[in-house]
Structure 1
């Protein structure tokens, strides 16, 4: 792992491979570990897997957290690495950050991949309340009960829950609250970046219709729906997701 200081905060990241930079942004309560099964893509590309502020090895932020604030940190982090053009891949909250990047920092993007995300990421009040009152119960609800397809490997479910438990409670709440406050529906038509949208058929947290809405509103976009996958599609069906990602990357102008 390496780190970069952005606005006085240490941001941890892992960089592997060479070529066009692909920057991966994890979702709520996640870290760079969320993208473990995407590492084979380093054969042809430079993968940058970062920990958002307050996650993994990165320093927490002060004050109120928002998608916009996370986005500004990611943009400054990428520029700090000397990256002029990238493809950005975001899961859930990370997808919201990608959308904000496409709106505010278009010049940095040559492509965008939204995985299990949406233009508005409403969170069930029961999950938000549980995040404040019983963190472990909230993870059981959001991850154990809702984040995976019915036939998902129990090992993967436990692994993901354990990773989320490493996140501090206040950070977990801030993540989901940021999602709940995010709404880019009125601005999607402004996005001109080539976009791949990926969603699992059994995603209960960010349902297929949310991805279909993105596909309808973002002009240069393609929708890939993956069978037998829930919200954690990148670890439930990594080979299919990786192939879709490779096909998209190869389709981009060089």
Structure 2
């Protein structure tokens, strides 16, 4: 599997296809396996699926976790691959990293796609989810991994694969990713986004408050996927993937001219 060295940690990633590069950024502990179904987008785009440091196969010496630090990690990945610009797609808390990357490195960003994403943990439900995540990481990490995988994947074999991948996560990293997400906010910088933004939510997700925040600060394209809550990349992956295709075809034809693959 391709990898590169970043601050004493080998960052492992999967790299499929050619064309417009899309880097998918996972939430705490889930690693690249949560984007199993997005690998199929490689028939149209270049799909890059990293394990962030402390997750999955990217295990090295422990270091403090921060959203800024993970954004820097994505920057190093892009430069390692000699890509001039990329689309960043973050799922759930991974969307915070996608937003921070785009705001910190706009010259390396083509577009941002947020899957069940948010610019800060605002609602009580989301705060509770993060606080309970921190508690379970400390007390019952195996149970938490089982709960998360069961809520995302129906296929038993794939579910077990994701479960085993989650258990590779460094526990301190897992806890601190939740903690950093809980206290991060880029709301006051959203107006600085200079490129297409796509927001994708499930109809059963608690997304209304997040959409209102984005509406006050920036422009975006919105799509709601019916009959699903938070887990749109796995439970409604065909619809999710098609929305990505439609968005990029509509907004980003010029990327082919500016991205080096």
RMSD: 2.2
Structure 1 residue 223: Cα displacement: 1.2
Q: Determine if contact 1:117/1:210 at 8 Å carries over to the other structure.
A: no
TM-score of the pair, normalised by structure 2: 0.85
Question: How many aligned positions are there?
Answer: 246
Cα distance, 1:55–1:210 mapped onto 2, change above 3 Å = farther
Cα distance, 1:5–1:158 mapped onto 2, change above 3 Å = closer
Q: Determine if contact 2:17/2:42 at 8 Å carries over to the other structure.
A: yes
CA distance in 1, matches of 2:160, 2:176: 23
Once the two structures are superposed, what CA deviation does each residue of 1:76-131 show, in whole Å capped at 9, x if it has no partner? 12112111011111111211001101110011111110011111135323332222
Equivalent residue of 1:102, what SS? helix
TM-score of the pair, normalised by structure 1: 0.87
Cα distance, 1:142–1:120 mapped onto 2, change above 3 Å = farther
Cα distance, 1:226–1:10 mapped onto 2, change above 3 Å = same
1:224 aligns with 2:223: yes
| Map of 1:36 onto structure 2 | 36
| Map of 2:237 onto structure 1 | 238
How do residues 190-205 of structure 1 correspond to structure 2 at under 5 angstroms?
A: 190-203=192-205
Q: Determine if contact 2:33/2:162 at 8 Å carries over to the other structure.
A: no
1:133 aligns with 2:139: yes
1:123 aligns with 2:122: no
Structure 1 residue 158: Cα displacement: 6.1
Q: Determine if contact 2:59/2:169 at 8 Å carries over to the other structure.
A: no
Q: Report 1 or 2 for greater relative contact order, CA contacts < 8 Å, sequence distance ≥ 6.
A: 2
Structure 1 residue 218: Cα displacement: 4.8
Gaps of 5+ in 1: none
Cα distance, 1:218–1:111 mapped onto 2, change above 3 Å = farther
Cα distance, 1:234–1:196 mapped onto 2, change above 3 Å = same
